[in-house]
Amino acid sequence: MVNITEMACYNKRQRQTGPEQVNDHIVAPLHSRVNGWSFPLHSFQLLTLLLYSYLAIVSFGIYIPLLPNEWRRVAYVVIGIVFVHHLITHLIAVTIDPADENILAKKNYDKPMPLFDRSKFKHVIQNQHCYLCEVDVGPKTKHCSTCNKCIADFDHHCNWLNNCVGSRNYWFFFNAVVSATVGILLLILMMLYVFIQYFVDPAQLRTSPQFESVRGNATWLVFLPLAPVETTAVAILALATLSVVLGSASFLLVGHLLAFHLYLLSKKMNTYEYMTQHRSKQHTIHQELNSETTSDQTCRTEPLQVTLYYYPPPPLSVFLLCITS
């Protein structure tokens, strides 16, 4: 069952990013997309910006001001640098046009993209020439049907950026993933500290001068020091719990994605090459299994023994790329 799911996932990925096949069920946009700000915006892109805004507000408006004096300034500086770094690299990765150099030289995105004629050409890109973009391209350039243009050193199409990731914006994408992983980890640790410290010694969370006016009651303050707002301890703890849950889920996904790209860098591969290699090996193994099953119907346990030699399944991050693209 897992193998069928993975194969379906890769088939879907191939339809969307592979330059070698154009699937009739996918309707490419009439014009090529410029970058991640080209309409329509993707829901995952908006979700990313909403999550970033939420974590920034609760961190700098609620939980950092509750830290003890000796940690508060450090948290403002360190977490602030990480958040700003992530925002800048994320926006740059979205804004950069990752197209092949010859596509950029034409600058002709207003012209409707021609339809691919299978009666004339077998592949979209043949002999490093794209018959849709009508230009010569680099050896690792792929034609993305979502963006409807050739992407230099194509890695993958990222719905979270609403843009393709290629050589022109890969390192900005990578830096955004690194800073997101580090930032979310710091936020989880900070909120866990606030949650635990409330039950151990809540006075350590009320060291800000503004708490002097409410020291004799159970009122808590947020959005210190500029715009103090009164609230309750229950609200702060409930919001901390929600934030830790969201942060933990995000850390699991983004951290796994970071680990996967570190693995790809160590192997000097990109996502597209990894998925193509995996798909090719799976196809070969299935052919061998079918051949062995046909030649020896009496050996019913043989397919189970052969599965021990399966190519390692793709990491969670690749599976997420498939189902979200």
Phi-psi region of 122 (alpha: psi -120 to 50; beta: other; left: phi over 0): alpha
150 catalytically annotated: no
Residue 101: HSE in the Cβ half-sphere, 13 Å Cα cutoff: 5
Exposed/middle/buried for 204, CB within 10 Å: 0-12, 13-18, 19+?
middle
Six-digit token string for 97: 């046009």
Q: Between the CA of residue 315 and those of 38, 193, 258, 259, what are the distances in Å?
A: 30, 32, 11, 9
Six-digit token string for 100: 């092949």
Contact between residue 237 and residue 219 where contact means Cβ atoms under 8 Å apart: no
The distance of Cα 135 from the centroid of its chain, to the nearest Å, equals 30
Residue 66: phi and psi, rounded to 5, are -85, -10
Residues listed for the chain: 325
* DSSP structural state of residue 280: H
Which distant-in-sequence residues (6+ apart) come within 8 Å of 149 by Cβ? 32, 33, 99, 100, 103, 109, 113, 133, 143
Taking alpha carbons only, the member of 180, 162, 13 closest to residue 93 is: 162
E strand map for 216-285: 220-222, 229-231
CA–CA separation, 5 and 118 (whole Å): 29
Query: Which residue out of 9, 130, 158, 322 is catalytically annotated?
Result: 158
CA–CA separation, 75 and 69 (whole Å): 10
List, by residue number, the catalytic residues. Answer: 158
